[in-house]
Amino acid sequence: MAICDNVSVLGTLLGISSAFFFAVNSIITRRGVLRVSSNYIAVGSIFTGTFFFLLLLALTGNLFSFAQIPWKALLFWILSGIIHFALGRTWAYRSIQFIGSNRSNVVTSLNPMVTIVLALLILHEEVNELMSLGILFSLAGPLVMLLKEKTLTGPNSLSGGIQGKDVNRFTVYKGFFYGAGAAVFWGSSAIFIKLAMKEGGGSPIAGSFLAYLAASVVVAPSIIMNPKNRREFFSEKTDSMMLAITCGLTSGLAQLLRYVALGYTSAIIVSLLNRTVPIWVLILSFMFMRRYESFSRWVLIGNGLLVIGTLLVVIS
């Protein structure tokens, strides 16, 4: 019994650590997009994630395990990477650049709701009353914030304020649009991950490497072919590149900790702990990015409704 308890505690700690590093990633991204474009941070972090999981494959002795993965599973991993990283991450980081981490996180964290809807349509799973209530709470979070959040009246997002914090109504709409898009991409990628595992897709680490590699191939032309992006990518100072690399490492570490946590405790516990990311984002934003983030009551209420809603969904 003591051993089981210790294993469960370890799984819980790993789950909390995963949520914490996802929040750290959001804060580092916010810091990064104050210096460079969201595309720079997204592409740099995707390349970093590819090398991170390649190193993990080498360390675990699974570097040549891809031959054992069925072609259908390979296809699903590739699709999940393109959707989750090349599209979802790029849109999420753009949302953070427009409206900051605290606001953006309320919208992007709706991705479990997208997964549920797609699971109902594609995997024919069922929804109960508690889950329906959770979905309503979750949707109410960003809706309340969108309708009530105070904005500037100037012609652009920097009119009299800080980029991503003091914004006009149009910038809020753009930030919510990209955040909602990221939620759709992230939520739909989870379906492809589930399908990949169902088809015998190997270890999550191998799958993550394939996903990152596919995303890297897709985003690379945006650097090579676009003169503006190429100039920014190769002319920025080392500090900016280090932010992008750190962003990729924290995201990769958060994903790795979540995979390991699933080996020590139930998926329900890990999912519950992962839903604490908005709380960690608020705490870390207050500690390190207070000047650049909004802490209005509507942002706090929106985050609260989101947390309650997602917890209800997971518990159901």
Over residues 18-45, mean pLDDT? 95
pLDDT of residue 109: 86
Task: Calculate mean pLDDT across residues 160-172.
Answer: 79
The percentage of the chain sitting over the pLDDT mark of 70, rounded to a whole number, equals: 93
Rounded (5°) CA angle 166-175-42: 110
Model pLDDT, residue 146: 85
Q: What is the DSSP string of 74-108?
A: HHHHHHHHIIIIIIIIHHHHHHHHHHHHHHHHHHH
pLDDT band at 251 (very low <50, low <70, confident <90, very high): very high
pLDDT single digits (tens) 120-158: 777 666 778 888 888 888 888 888 888 888 877 655 544
Predicted local confidence at residue 272, as pLDDT: 75
Does the structure show a pLDDT above 50 at 2? no
Q: Which two tokens stand for residue 155?
A: 């012609």
- For residue 237, is it left (φ>0), alpha (ψ between -120 and 50) or beta? beta
Name the CA radius of gyration of the chain, rounded. 19
- Check residue 52 and give its pLDDT: 96
Q: Residue 176 has what pLDDT?
A: 94
Mean pLDDT of the chain: 87
Low-confidence winner among 1-15, 65-79, 109-123 (lowest mean pLDDT): 1-15
Residue 23 has a pLDDT of 95
**Planar angle of CA 118, 274, 95, nearest 5 degrees:** 70
| C-alpha 6, offset from chain centre | 29
Task: Work out the percent of the chain whose per-residue pLDDT is above 90.
Answer: 46
- What pLDDT score does 159 carry? 47
Predicted local confidence at residue 119, as pLDDT: 74
Backbone angles phi, psi at 168, to 5 degrees: -90, 175
pLDDT single digits (tens) 185-244: 998 888 888 888 888 877 888 999 999 999 999 999 988 888 988 899 888 888 999 999
Residue 248 pLDDT: 96
For the segment 14-33, the average pLDDT, to the nearest whole number, is 94
Look at residues 164, 167, 165 and name the one whose alpha carbon lies nearest to residue 151. 167
pTM of the predicted model as reported, rounded to 2 decimal places:
0.89
